[in-house]
Amino acid sequence: MEVTTMDVVEKRPGQRWKVGVTQKKVNAQDLEVGMFVSDLDRPWHLTPFPIQGFYIRSQDDIRALISHCRWVMVDVAESRDSLEYDQAGSPSFARRASRKVRQQDILELPPIQVRNPVKHRVTRSLNRELRASANLPEEAEDAIQKVVGGLRNDMVPDLRPVSKVARQMTASVLRNPDALLWLARLREQDDHTYCHSLRTAVWALVLGRHLGLDEQLLTTLATGCLLAHIGKAELPRSLLHNEHQLDAAQYQQYRTYVELGACRLEEAGEPRGVVAVVRGHRERHNGSGFPAGVRGDRIPLLSRIAGLVDYYESLITPREGYQPLSPAQAVSQLFELRNVEFQEDLVEQLIQSIGIYPIGTLVQLTNGQRGIVVSHSPKRRLMPKVMVMTDTAQQPLKAARMVNLATCNEGRPVGQSLRVEGCLPSGTDGLDPGRFNISGAESRWNLRRLVGV
């Protein structure tokens, strides 16, 4: 058995990782439930497993590994469970999730079956849809702001603008799911709640489209996501400003926002489907959510979708006092929470619909160039299309260039392929995609020129 030791240097404000992670090479046939798989005997992108590693939680996981690998590397002293918090960086009750999962916490359900699923096709190019939908993010935020303003003034909110923009967003995502996702990911907005609600609605639409939901259900889902956090308008603003760092008493008060929002929507005559999304978006698969603590398939499907994407968006979004995860890290965390806080099938469908590197993710390639993901292939999750904005010395280019990693690497050995080396934080110097126009056409930029050989 091969043993290696590596130091862990990742660190976030207020958190300390213990060093000295020991890896062991284990035959796939000898794997056991509870082990943490940190490396494979083959490239991650050729398997369905998350590239950040994962815990083995069932015999099905072991069988899946045996079908893909002869051996894997496992972490013996897994540092991911050794996270310590100092007094200034105590974790949010809303985000706290145990990395160690007990067997009795796991709830398995059959795969999701959508009645009469619709096979949606892209009917408009990215460029055309970007032009058609350019104002939708701003209109959505304006509509949410008006609803929140009405609630703060103790008025019955006019929800018609929200319903209208939800229908427009649905139509846009049905025509081309990449355009609105791009616009929402790149939109800069100081108010976290409005921006969060917008992006959550777009993630939900993309996942719902992937599942084959019809247009009416998608509109209900989008409307519910846009309105999911309006109950926070009735909470003290000081509480919301420290949302990521609450004590037990504050968290109990914070939890009331869900029912406050749902009741206000009922008073305003909002359809039951929308109210159900709002009321159920903080419920969790294992019953650990709120306000009712329901579990499994007692949570409506649209609420399950809303809850999953709401959590995912909270992981990757920068905000004061919280260092976000990269999309790949967030996907890995969701994978660990499958059949615990979120239904396994739904997690896998989300990963398929948005990719490991979702649209709008800043990345660095293996040759040192940097850019932003503009689209991805569900079949090649680690090989997205990237708009490259710097050269190999990370100096800005005069004109951005498109490269489709899936096609430019065809026929090349894995060791010579150009790949995503890692994600970059939002706001990385020299990476301003707003300076460039996105072209739906493939650039005549071959791999030899791209890698500088």
User: Residue 46: what pLDDT?
Assistant: 64
Give 85's strand partners. Answer: 15
How confident is residue 306, by pLDDT bands cut at 50, 70 and 90? very high
Tell me how far CA of residue 195 lies from CA of 127, 141, 313, 338, in angstroms: 23, 7, 10, 26
Return the residue matching tokens 């917008």.
198
Tell me how far CA of residue 90 lies from CA of 14, 96, 315, 326, in angstroms: 8, 10, 16, 21
Once rounded to an integer, what is the mean pLDDT over residues 108-124? 92
The pLDDT > 90 percentage for the chain reads: 42
Helix (H, G, I), strand (E, B) or coil at 136: helix
Residue 266, pLDDT > 90, answer yes
**Residue 196 and residue 229 in contact, taking contact as beta carbons nearer than 8 Å:** yes
The amino acid occupying position 70 is R
Return the residue matching tokens 């045996």.
66
Distance CA 62, CA 192 (A): 41
Q: The pTM is what?
A: 0.76
Q: Token pair for residue 55?
A: 């815990």
Distance CA 225, CA 165 (A): 12
Torsion from C-alpha of 313, 37, 56, 419, nearest 10 degrees: 40
DSSP secondary structure letter of residue 157: -
Distance CA 311, CA 281 (A): 9
Q: How many CA atoms lie within 13 A of 384 on its CB side?
A: 29
Helix (H, G, I), strand (E, B) or coil at 8: coil
Q: What are the pLDDT digits (tens) for 206-255?
A: 999 999 999 999 999 999 999 999 999 999 988 887 776 778 888 899 99
